[in-house]
């Protein structure tokens, strides 16, 4: 039989809690004041001394040590801020009269194109600004001007048959001209101080050039003189620049490695890896090695690794690294393609074509050698069943670099036509929307049968006749059918 007792055990019932009341209403105590009040301070009355004598008795007790210490009393604790009060009221109301505008949202990603993006909400950067539409006229009146002066004296030189050009595979503009007199030749001929510099101005477009070679043809009763040279970027190559050997001891990016080659040369480098390309990548320690190379050879090799070109400046000590193909050829017809020039057929005076078909590659295996990554780059939407030749490069040490090189190799395939045509070089102040076309620019040609896009490969400007009676630029465009 079990009996339930709801009462707790006796040992738990007799548990009590002690408490002490605090000094709620007493005066506020100051420990420093209490200590000061406990000290004895003699008054400032007169002191009476008694110098009476008495016999000296040596002490028989041990020495006595005194310890004077004040022990304050332990008063009851006192509450602090017991009389505090809290104020409350409604929160502040700000911008009660503000009004929100109602209307169409502001577009931040460029103009609306009507493109449906199934995989992501939209472009992450604004669409490129479309090029200026060229001005189409029935007749173009151009007052051509060609000026050639010696630097730094600005001594003018009379010249004819001036030619200057640049292609995507070179790193400097090439120049040639015929001059009339032996005195003019003496002004530009190299001497003990090195190659002379001249400034060429054609319809407002300026080049600063080094005169490297000259020749003379003597046929009685006349003499003919000619000179040739290149822009100042030639100073970064042989025989002007020294050959060097290098190996990176620490990780370094491709942009840093290219910039390092221009130290103490006065040249600057532009590489917009974010907006223009190509993408930058990192060389691990011990992977960036070269032997007996000039500064330009190293920079050109870095650009070639990712399928880029080196664009030299015309009149300053500057270089720019740009992708040879701004976008793959199969994207040239899209709205977001970075078209830089529109060249109307009405401006063309000559036209020719060269059919150079290549296999329609849709995949490419790209890999580094001692370091880096191996990657199969495949064109989206294809089976990758027609691979291009494999690419192995010591400097392909990053994923972005391997991808850029693979896209570059695929861009070289397909039905390719090299289209050449001639059009005037309009003055820089009034270029009619065309102006000077440079290699690496993506151009659009609006023909009657349909517009097509092409990549500029080379440009050559010719000023023929005495006084530059005619100035033209010959272009070569790579067109993919």
403-458 pLDDT, tens digit per residue, is 999 999 999 999 999 999 999 999 988 888 888 999 999 999 999 889 999 999 99
User: Locate tokens 């460029």: which residue?
Assistant: 110
In Å, how far from its chain's centre is CA 22? 72
How far are the Cα atoms of 109, 256, 291, 293, 392 from residue 246, in angstroms, in the given order? 44, 14, 7, 9, 21
- Residue 383 domain-assigned (yes or no): yes
Q: What is the pLDDT of residue 293?
A: 94
Both 306 and 383 in one domain: the answer is no
* Residue 241 in domain: yes
Does the residue 91 lie in any domain? no
| Domain interval for residue 406 | 358-414
Q: What are phi and psi of 228, to 5 degrees?
A: -150, 160
- CATH number of 263's domain: 3.55.50.10
Pairing of strands 450-464, 442-447: antiparallel
| Tokens of residue 325, six digits | 């193909």
Examine the domain organization and report whether 316 and 362 are in the same domain. no
CB 391 within 8 A of CB 366: yes
In a domain, 86, yes or no: no
Total length of the chain: 481
Query: How big is the CA angle at 270 (ends 283 and 310), to the nearest 5 degrees?
Result: 80
Phi, psi of 379 (to 5 degrees): -70, 130
| 83 pLDDT more than 70 | no
Assigned domain for 422 exists: no
Predicted pLDDT at 1: 47
One domain, residues 318 and 374: no
Q: What is the CATH number of the domain that holds 377?
A: 3.30.1920
Q: At which residue do the structure tokens 């040239």 appear?
A: 332
Quick one: 312 and 384 in the same domain? no
**310 in the same domain as 366:** no
Q: Is residue 439 part of a domain?
A: no
- CA distances 92 to 85, 87, 96, 99, 393, Å, are 21, 14, 10, 18, 67
pLDDT in tens, 107-126: 555 555 566 656 655 556 66
Closest by Cα among 443, 460, 426, 425 to 344: 443
Which of 227, 237, 240, 274 lies closest to 255 in space, CA to CA?
Answer: 274
Encode pLDDT of 139-185 as tens digits: 888 888 999 999 999 999 999 899 999 999 999 999 999 998 889 99
Same domain, 244 and 305: yes
Question: Average of pLDDT values for 462-480?
Answer: 86
* % of the chain surpassing 70 pLDDT: 83
Asked if residue 373 belongs to a domain, the reply is yes
| Domain-located, residue 307 | yes
How do 416-424 and 391-392 pair as beta strands? unpaired
Q: Same domain, yes or no, for 246 and 302?
A: yes
Tell me, yes or no, whether 254 and 316 share the same domain: yes
Residues 302 and 240 in one domain: yes
Residue 102 has a pLDDT of 72
The mean pLDDT value of the chain amounts to 85
Domain identity same for 240 and 318: yes
Mean pLDDT of 80-95: 70
- Domain total in the chain: 2
**Coil, strand, or helix at residue 356?**
coil
Which one of 272, 304, 323 terminates a domain? 323
Pair (378, 304) in one structural domain: no
């Amino acid at each position: 039989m079990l009996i339930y007792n709801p009462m707790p055990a006796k040992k738990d019932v007799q548990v009590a809690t002690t408490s002490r009341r605090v000094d709620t209403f007493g005066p506020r105590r100051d420990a420093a004041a209490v200590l000061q009040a406990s000290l004895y301070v003699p008054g400032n009355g007169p002191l009476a001394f008694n110098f009476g004598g008495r016999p000296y008795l040596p002490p028989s007790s041990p020495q006595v040590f005194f310890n004077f210490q004040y022990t304050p009393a332990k008063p009851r604790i006192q509450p602090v801020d017991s009389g505090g009060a809290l104020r409350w009221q409604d929160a502040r109301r700000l911008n009660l009269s503000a009004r929100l505008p109602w209307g169409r949202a502001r577009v931040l990603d460029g103009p609306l194109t009507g493109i449906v993006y199934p995989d992501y909400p939209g472009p992450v950067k604004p669409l490129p600004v479309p090029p200026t539409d060229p001005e189409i006229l029935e007749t173009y009146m151009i007052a051509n001007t060609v000026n050639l002066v010696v630097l730094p004296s600005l001594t003018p030189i009379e010249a004819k048959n001036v030619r200057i050009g640049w292609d995507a595979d070179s790193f400097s503009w090439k120049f040639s001209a015929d001059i009339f007199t032996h005195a003019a030749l003496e002004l530009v001929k190299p001497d003990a101080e090195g190659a002379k510099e001249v400034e060429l101005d054609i319809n407002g477009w300026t080049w600063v050039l080094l005169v490297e070679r000259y020749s003379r043809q003597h046929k009685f009763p006349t003499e003919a003189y000619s000179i040739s040279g290149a822009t100042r970027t030639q100073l970064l190559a042989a025989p002007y620049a020294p050959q060097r050997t290098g190996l990176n001891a620490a990780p370094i990016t491709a942009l840093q490695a290219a910039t390092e080659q221009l130290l103490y040369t006065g040249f600057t480098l532009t590489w917009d890896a974010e907006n223009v390309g190509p993408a930058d990548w990192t060389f691990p320690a011990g992977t960036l090695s070269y032997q007996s190379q000039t500064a330009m050879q190293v920079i050109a090799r870095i650009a070639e690794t990712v399928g880029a070109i080196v664009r030299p400046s015309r009149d300053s000590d500057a270089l720019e690294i740009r992708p040879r193909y701004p976008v793959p050829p199969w994207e040239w017809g899209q709205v977001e393609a970075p078209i830089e020039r529109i060249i109307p057929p009405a401006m063309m005076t000559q036209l020719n074509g060269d059919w150079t078909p290549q296999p329609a590659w849709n995949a490419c295996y790209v890999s580094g050698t001692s370091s880096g990554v191996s990657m199969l780059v495949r064109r989206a939407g294809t089976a990758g069943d027609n691979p291009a030749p494999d690419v192995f490069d010591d400097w392909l040490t990053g994923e972005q670099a391997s991808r850029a090189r693979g896209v570059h190799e695929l861009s070289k395939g397909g039905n390719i036509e090299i289209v050449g045509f001639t059009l005037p070089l309009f003055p820089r102040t009034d270029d009619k929307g065309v102006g000077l076309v440079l290699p690496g620019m993506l151009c659009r040609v609006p023909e009657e049968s349909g517009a097509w896009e092409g990549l500029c490969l080379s440009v050559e400007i010719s000023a023929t006749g005495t006084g530059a009676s005619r100035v033209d630029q010959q272009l070569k465009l790579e067109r993919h059918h």
